[in-house]
């Protein structure tokens, strides 16, 4: 029975499927088809071609391809290179982003990953952290936290100090430029640090992440969205000691949105009331204490407006008076 089921599905996948049917097959392949095949490795060509397409199709094929690699021993050398290429800002708006982030966390869980690969993923996620919505920032913070905890070899990214030769060279350059500026009268130059990470590089090995630092994580601690900044501060424990930290469940943040963040903030109980509050119900939008030193004569202003309106109406009703007044103005 499994053999007939396998032949039927292999023949079906060779047909030119419409795009909507093609996506539906990719979504359900890992649950409804792969467990019942006699040899699931036969789907490797179909899944690798789908994974190479890019975009949403690659995200849908990732689940089944990951099952073949972890449960059936499929070897796919370019798997992490393709996965690295999927980390773009548009992925945070994709329909199946929740499952993608959970798979990404699972793919980066192995302790056998090279240090440069873990550093490249952590650094690229950190760079995306600066431009994604708050819901995406929560997911990225959780992912980077788990990567740093699982791979102690890249803890140098958390706090990196410049080499003595590099720092001395930068100091000499800054000193020379300041002397030139002193002669010309311009402002002194204060050269900032150099980030060696290249986000445009598609190969994680050549991205230069191991020479960089995760300064983006420190930046997000001052995020404009309070849940993001609170979450980043709560994970600020020393990651070099595994006993002090625990892994974060990415699934709790993978399906987040503005609505979920707002709902959580509304239902959250706070110990102190933020900002200002009124002891009594206000009777107007602004009180006199809000504008100290200002006096608003609203009644006199309204009376003057009424008088001007009455005079204008009289001029319209009395054409002789308005024409005589116009003649006097012309004579003058």
| 54-73 per-position pLDDT tens digit | 888 888 899 899 899 888 88
- What's the pLDDT score for residue 164? 44
Q: Are 29 and 57 in contact (CB under 8 A)?
A: no
Q: What is the pLDDT of residues 274-288, one digit of tens each?
A: 666 667 777 777 777
Q: What is the pTM of this model?
A: 0.70
pLDDT at 192 over 60: no
Q: How confident is the model at residue 235 (pLDDT cuts 50, 70, 90)?
A: confident
Q: Is residue 229 part of a domain?
A: yes
From its phi and psi, is residue 82 left (phi > 0), alpha (psi between -120 and 50) or beta?
alpha
155 domain residue, yes or no: yes
Report yes or no on 299 lying in a domain: no
Domain of residue 138, residue span: 115-161+194-266
Joined together, the tokens standing for residue 50 give: 């789908």
The pLDDT of residue 171 is 45
Q: Is residue 286 part of a domain?
A: no
- Which has the higher per-residue pLDDT, 311 or 68? 68
Determine, yes or no, domain membership for 124: yes
CA pair distance 67, 34, nearest whole angstrom? 9
Number of structural domains, the chain? 1
Residue 138 is assigned to a structural domain of this protein: yes
**Confidence band for 297, pLDDT divided at 50, 70 and 90:** low
Q: Could you tell me which residue, 188 or 29, shows the higher pLDDT?
A: 29
* Helices 134-150/226-234 angle, 10° precision: 10
Residue with tokens 């032949």: 7
How many whole angstroms separate alpha carbon 43 and alpha carbon 69? 12
């Amino acid at each position: 029975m499994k053999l007939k089921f396998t032949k039927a599905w292999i023949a079906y996948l060779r047909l030119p499927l419409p795009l909507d049917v093609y996506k539906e097959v990719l979504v359900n392949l890992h649950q409804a088809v792969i467990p019942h095949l006699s040899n699931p490795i036969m789907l490797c060509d179909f899944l690798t071609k789908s994974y190479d397409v890019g975009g949403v199709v690659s995200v849908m094929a990732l689940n089944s391809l990951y099952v073949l690699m972890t449960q059936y021993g499929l070897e796919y050398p370019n798997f992490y290179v393709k996965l690295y290429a999927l980390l773009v800002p548009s992925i945070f708006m994709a329909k199946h982003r929740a499952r993608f982030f959970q798979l990404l966390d699972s793919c980066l869980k192995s302790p056998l990953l090279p240090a440069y690969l873990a550093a490249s993923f952590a650094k690229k996620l950190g760079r995306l952290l600066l431009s994604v919505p708050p819901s995406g920032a929560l997911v990225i913070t959780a992912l980077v936290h788990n990567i740093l905890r699982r791979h102690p070899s890249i803890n140098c990214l958390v706090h990196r100090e410049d080499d003595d030769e590099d720092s001395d060279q930068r100091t000499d350059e800054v000193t020379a430029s300041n002397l030139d500026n002193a002669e010309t009268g311009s402002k002194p130059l204060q050269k900032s640090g150099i980030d060696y990470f290249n986000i445009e590089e598609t190969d994680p090995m050549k991205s230069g992440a191991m020479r960089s630092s995760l300064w983006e994580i420190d930046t997000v601690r001052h995020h404009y969205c309070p849940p993001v900044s609170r979450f980043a501060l709560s994970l600020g424990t020393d990651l070099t000691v595994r006993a002090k930290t625990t892994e974060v469940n990415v699934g709790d943040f993978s399906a987040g949105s503005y609505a979920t963040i707002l709902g959580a903030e509304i239902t959250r109980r706070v110990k102190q009331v933020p900002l200002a509050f009124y002891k009594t119900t206000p009777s107007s939008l602004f009180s006199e204490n809000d504008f100290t030193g200002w006096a608003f004569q609203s009644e006199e202003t309204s009376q003057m407006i009424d008088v001007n309106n009455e005079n204008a109406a009289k001029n319209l009703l009395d054409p002789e008076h308005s024409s005589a007044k116009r003649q006097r103005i012309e004579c003058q």
